[in-house]
Amino acid sequence: MLRERERVVLDFSRVQDRAASGGRRGGALDCEPGVVRLFGVADLGARGQMSGWGEPEDGHVWNDGPQATLLIAVPAPPSRLLLLLGGEPYVSRLRPAQEVTLFGNGLRIGFWRLTQRAGATLSAPLEPEWWLRRGGRAVMRLDLHLPNSARPIDIADGPDGRELGFCFRTICLRPLADEADMTA
* pLDDT, tens digit (0-9, with 9 covering 90-100), for 17-49: 333 334 445 689 999 999 999 999 999 999 999
Q: How large is the average pLDDT for residues 3-24?
A: 38
Predicted structure pTM score: 0.83
What is the spatial distance between Cα 46 and Cα 61, in angstroms, rounded to a whole number?
A: 9
Domains, the chain, in order of start with CATH, read 2-182 (2.60.120.260)
What is the spatial distance between Cα 97 and Cα 89, in angstroms, rounded to a whole number?
A: 8
Sign of torsion, CA 166 169 171 176? negative
Name the nearest CA neighbour of 112 among 151, 85, 136. Answer: 85
pLDDT tens for 82-138 read 999 999 999 999 999 999 999 999 999 999 999 999 999 999 999 999 999 988 999
Mean pLDDT score of the chain, rounded to an integer?
86
Name the nearest CA neighbour of 172 among 87, 83, 98, 78. Answer: 83
First to last CA, the chain: 31
